[in-house]
Amino acid sequence: MPASGSVVRIVAADANILINFIHVQRLDLLGHLPEYEFVMPEEVRGEITDPNQEAAVREAIDAGILRLVAIEDVPTLTLFAELTGLMGRGEASCLSLAVTQNWLIASDEKRTFRREALARLGTGRLINTPGLLVLSIRAGLITIEEADAMKELLEQRRFRMKFGSFRDLL
């Protein structure tokens, strides 16, 4: 959790981000990034159906790494209903919360989701797995070598990053 008095950037985390960090066994990084708080909408939780991944998410919630949130206010519910016609419920919940609550959003989705997120949020409010790993390196939580090893593990699971090494990004 962020230190007392620091700026908190709340990030709505999509299932693909959480699953990527579960695959590399570093979901804990999300709880240690300075100035960031990660929330998971109930709809995202519903998309994580693998029992081992469900257990990891439950542990992250219990440890305070993720905060579970429900969509309850009318503007967010209205936007959520609109967006579910264009994308999955998890993505729609994250985007509707990011728009109405002025939060950031963490997702690796492309196409329709990315286009809608950029149109509704503008640039600078969408972060992906590589971006979160860069933040982790800059915060001193992991080394470039550790990030490259995670990149390799994710690529074995068909999550491709279009660069050779995190060293290229820093």
Q: Dump pLDDT digits (tens) for 64-103.
A: 999 999 999 999 999 999 999 999 999 999 999 999 999 9
Span 9-128: which CATH code? 3.40.50.1010
Residues 113-167: pLDDT tens digits?
A: 999 999 999 888 999 999 999 999 999 999 999 999 999 999 999 999 999 999 9
| Whether the predicted pLDDT of 6 surpasses 70 | no
Contact 132, 29 (CB under 8 A): yes
Q: Binning pLDDT at 50, 70 and 90, where does residue 7 land?
A: low
Nearest CA among 33, 88, 95, 92 for reference residue 66 = 33
Q: How far apart are the first and last CA of the chain?
A: 25
Q: 125: which residues sit within 8 A by CB, 6+ positions away?
A: 98, 103, 104, 105, 117
SS3 11: strand
For the chain, the domains span 9-128
CB 72 within 8 A of CB 121: no
CA–CA dist 57, 75 (Å, integer): 28
Q: Rounded to two decimals, what is the model's pTM?
A: 0.90
Q: How far apart are CA 2 and CA 8, in angstroms?
A: 7
